[in-house]
Amino acid sequence: MSSQGGWGSSKEFLDLVKSIGEANSQAEEERLVASEIEMLKRRNVEPDLPHKKMEEYIIRLVYIEMLGHDASFGYIQAVKMTHDDNLLLKRSGYLAVTLFLNKDYDLIILIVNTIQKDLKSDNYLVCCAALTAVCKLLNEETIPAVLPQVVELLTHPKELVRNKAVMALHRFHQRAPSTGSQLILCDKDPSVMSAAVCALFDPVTADAQGYKNFTTSFVSILKQVAEHQLPNLYDYHQTPAPFNQCVLAEILKRSDANSNIGNAILYECICIITTIHVSPRLLEVATEITSRFVKSENHN
């Protein structure tokens, strides 16, 4: 992909990006941004901008906010763009909205309607865009409006949608603990499974007793991952709640100490082992590994 600027980027945007990149001092950058803000404000009041222009306009607003200047005059334009039918524009609109607003803004109300419509869409990419926005934007008042739709999406044929629906429920649980949620831990797709593991981490740490029956599922998942039964594409894994000492010992034996991710797993295991009551044999293995770490030349 060329770095001369994407399709549809106007010359102005390219110039802006280049000149900000080349700005030598804070003052120069401020001056550039101020003139950009002036121009965007003027554009803001123009009716009927073509949609591609609108997208670029929104990205420029994101840019300005990233550099630390307020761009609140343009938030409403971002909200309008989420209504667009073109997927890229819609998604850019959602992105801008999640970057600009947080759950306390009143503009969220305007978005909830669009989100509800998009969650029902036939195009699964649109559902995903809406679910991603749901994770970032909703609070206790607005959650009930979308909850039934999200629960329904848990059984969507596409695994990407299920994945995001699980994370949306996780978010709801964080915001409003009274939302009951049933999660599908043993979904056949590994990314949904790992999302569910993530999502379950919080409720499980809060109430370990109630989740005892999940132990066997956790153990089998961990075994699967540790024995490289997942396709090669998945080379990162996380250890869930500390229920399973014997499986941890297997991982300790198998991890290759030269790979960084192997080290990450070992580190996690050691942390877990030091916090729970373990058998002496495991302790021996743990101390051996720790000394390996300390002697290692890698400064991390």
Residue ranges binding another protein (CB under 8 A): 1, 3-6, 9, 14, 17, 20-21, 23, 29, 59, 62-63, 65-70, 86-88, 91-92, 95, 99, 102-104, 125, 128, 132, 135, 160, 163-164, 167, 170-171, 174, 191, 194-195, 198-199, 201-202, 233-236, 238, 260-261, 263-265, 267-268, 271, 299-300
Q: Which C-beta is closer to another protein: that of 179 or that of 191?
A: 191
User: In the bound complex, what is the minimum distance in angstroms from residue 198's beta carbon to another protein?
Assistant: 4
User: In the bound complex, what is the minimum distance in angstroms from residue 72's beta carbon to another protein?
Assistant: 9
User: In the bound complex, what is the minimum distance in angstroms from residue 234's beta carbon to another protein?
Assistant: 6
Q: State both tokens at 102.
A: 């947080």
The single-letter code of the amino acid at 153 is L
Q: Which C-beta is closer to another protein: that of 258 or that of 280?
A: 258
User: In the bound complex, what is the minimum distance in angstroms from residue 235's beta carbon to another protein?
Assistant: 7
User: In the bound complex, what is the minimum distance in angstroms from residue 114's beta carbon to another protein?
Assistant: 17
For residue 78, report the phi and psi dihedrals to the nearest 5 degrees.
-65, -40
User: In the bound complex, what is the minimum distance in angstroms from residue 280's beta carbon to another protein?
Assistant: 25
Q: Which C-beta is closer to another protein: that of 231 or that of 280?
A: 231
C-alpha count within 13 angstroms, C-beta hemisphere, residue 283: 7
Q: State both tokens at 166.
A: 């699980």
User: In the bound complex, what is the minimum distance in angstroms from residue 295's beta carbon to another protein?
Assistant: 15
Q: Which C-beta is closer to another protein: that of 18 or that of 281?
A: 18
Q: Which C-beta is closer to another protein: that of 86 or that of 216?
A: 86
Q: Which C-beta is closer to another protein: that of 27 or that of 280?
A: 27
Q: Which C-beta is closer to another protein: that of 21 or that of 47?
A: 21
Site of tokens 């051996």: 288
